[in-house]
């Protein structure tokens, strides 16, 4: 009995650590949205994983960093009016974003070593946690790869790289969250998949696809056009929706098509969630899944309201960042439900 209680306590400690890391990744995603929406993402034109921990100190160092920025396409084509003081305003957000990424690495690595030494993480499981750390490091590389796309000729990051960076953050978050839930809610040996597992997994996929489409909206700044709802201007089907050749490029490179896809994917996702909630009320679900299903509907209502408000107001920073954050919250809730039904 003592060994069982010790193992449960160890599992709770590891799960708590993973959930703290998830919380930091959540903040990282929201801060990344703020950085993008304020035009701060291209203010740091170099990447120094170790030396970049310290910000510029003193007027001479600020001037040196500013001169580097002056050589970038963004300064030359967009912000040529800026002086060093105005530059500081956009620099700090990107600096904080990168600093938070390094902080997450430390918050992950140090407890991992401690838990491994204390035996909280068993030898046969260490590879799964090490892979989380490696994925986090690769995410940093992917972030720099994204930024580099905006430092050549056109001061605009690739929507493909931005969406890949966002998806990678969600995947790392999901991996840590899933392992934490498995530690907190270990399945009984006789447990099997709940009959609702398949449809819930399908709903999770639909939510994920909608979020990915939102990444392309953000990358193309497609929320700045057709700021009306439910119609796009005077149209249900706006002109130019298939203007690019070959046709598949419209789904990733055409601002009109990308916004059209995202708004209708969002509406379809909300309708599916509502129907899912109605039917789930009459289903025999595990006790821990029931409040999560209600939370799924409530979060979806909030997300739709935020999405419409963000569109109508042409993407103000606060609403845009909130919309991105609630997307991650919705993803978290559906992931929790999927976990609850996988081994019920």
Whether residue 1 has pLDDT greater than 60? no
Please tell me the least confidently modeled range out of 269-273, 275-279, 284-288, 296-300.
284-288
Query: Are 212 and 304 found together in one domain?
Result: yes
The count of other CB atoms within 10 Å of the CB of residue 123 is 8
Q: Give percent above pLDDT 70 in the chain.
A: 99
Q: Which of 186, 210, 226 is a domain's end point?
A: 186
Question: How far apart (Å, rounded) are the C-alpha atoms in residues 41 and 150?
Answer: 9
The predicted model gives 191-207 an average pLDDT of: 95
- Looking only at Cα atoms, what is the longest distance across the chain? 70
Query: Are 106 and 200 found together in one domain?
Result: no
Query: Are 206 and 259 found together in one domain?
Result: yes
Query: Are 97 and 179 found together in one domain?
Result: yes
Please tell me the least confidently modeled range out of 2-11, 163-172, 318-327.
2-11
Query: Are 214 and 280 found together in one domain?
Result: yes
Query: Are 116 and 236 found together in one domain?
Result: no
The predicted model gives 185-194 an average pLDDT of: 86
The predicted model gives 150-167 an average pLDDT of: 91
145 burial (CB, 10 Å; 0-12 / 13-18 / 19+) is middle
**Which pair of tokens denotes residue 115?**
């838990």
For 222-266, what is each residue's pLDDT tens digit?
999 999 999 999 999 999 999 999 999 999 999 999 999 999 999
Query: Are 266 and 312 found together in one domain?
Result: yes
Query: Are 197 and 182 found together in one domain?
Result: no
State residue 293's pLDDT score. Answer: 97
Question: How far apart (Å, rounded) are the C-alpha atoms in residues 114 and 120?
Answer: 9
Q: Is 45 left (phi over 0), alpha (psi -120 to 50) or beta?
A: alpha
For 109-150, what is each residue's pLDDT tens digit?
999 999 999 999 988 888 999 999 999 999 999 998 999 898
**Which pair of tokens denotes residue 128?**
């799964």
State residue 46's pLDDT score. Answer: 84
Question: How far apart (Å, rounded) are the C-alpha atoms in residues 266 and 276?
Answer: 15
State residue 4's pLDDT score. Answer: 81
| 45 confidence band (pLDDT: 50, 70, 90) | confident
Q: How many domains does the chain have?
A: 2
State residue 2's pLDDT score. Answer: 58
Q: Which of 186, 212, 232 is a domain's end point?
A: 186
- 173 within 8 A of 15, measured Cβ to Cβ: no
Which of 222, 158, 206 is CA-nearest to residue 334? 206
Query: Are 10 and 128 found together in one domain?
Result: yes
Cα 179 from chain centre: 18
Q: What is the mean pLDDT of the chain?
A: 93
Range(s) of the domain holding residue 287: 191-344
State residue 51's pLDDT score. Answer: 64
For 46-80, what is each residue's pLDDT tens digit?
888 766 688 898 899 999 999 999 999 999 988 99
User: Tokens 């963000």, residue?
Assistant: 310
State residue 111's pLDDT score. Answer: 96
Query: Are 215 and 164 found together in one domain?
Result: no
Whether residue 308 has pLDDT greater than 70? yes
pTM of the model: 0.94
Q: Which of 151, 186, 221 is a domain's end point?
A: 186
State residue 123's pLDDT score. Answer: 84
Query: Are 171 and 216 found together in one domain?
Result: no
Query: Are 210 and 334 found together in one domain?
Result: yes
């Amino acid at each position: 009995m003592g060994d069982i209680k010790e193992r449960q306590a160890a599992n709770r400690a590891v799960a708590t650590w993973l959930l703290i890391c998830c919380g930091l990744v959540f903040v990282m995603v929201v801060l990344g949205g703020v950085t993008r929406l304020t035009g701060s993402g291209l203010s740091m034109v170099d990447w120094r994983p170790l030396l970049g921990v310290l910000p510029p100190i003193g007027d001479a160092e600020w001037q040196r960093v500013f001169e580097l920025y002056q050589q970038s396409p963004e300064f030359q084509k967009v912000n040529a009016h800026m002086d060093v003081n105005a530059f500081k305003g956009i620099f700090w957000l990107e600096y904080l974003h990168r600093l938070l990424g390094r902080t997450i690495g430390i918050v992950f690595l140090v407890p991992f070593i401690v838990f491994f030494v204390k035996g909280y993480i068993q030898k046969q499981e260490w590879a799964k946690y090490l892979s989380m750390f490696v994925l986090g490091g690769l995410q940093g590389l992917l972030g720099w790869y994204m930024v580099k796309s905006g430092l050549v000729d056109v001061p605009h990051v690739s929507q493909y790289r931005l969406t890949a960076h966002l998806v990678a953050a969600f995947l790392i978050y999901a991996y840590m969250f899933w392992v934490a839930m498995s530690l907190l809610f270990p399945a009984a040996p006789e447990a099997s998949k709940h009959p609702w597992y398949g449809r819930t997994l399908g709903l999770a996929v639909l939510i994920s696809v909608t979020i990915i489409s939102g990444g392309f909206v953000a990358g193309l700044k497609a929320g700045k056009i057709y700021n009306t709802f439910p119609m796009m201007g005077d149209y249900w089907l706006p002109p130019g929706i298939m203007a690019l050749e070959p046709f598949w490029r419209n789904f990733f490179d055409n601002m009109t098509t990308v916004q059209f896809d995202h708004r209708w994917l969002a509406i379809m996702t909300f309708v599916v969630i509502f129907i899912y909630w109605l039917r789930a009320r009459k289903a025999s679900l595990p006790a821990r899944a029931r409040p999560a299903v209600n939370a799924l509907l409530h979060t979806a209502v909030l997300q739709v309201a935020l999405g419409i408000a963000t569109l109508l107001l042409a993407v103000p920073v606060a609403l845009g960042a909130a919309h991105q954050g609630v997307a991650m919250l919705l993803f978290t809730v559906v992931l929790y439900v999927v976990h609850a039904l996988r081994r019920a």
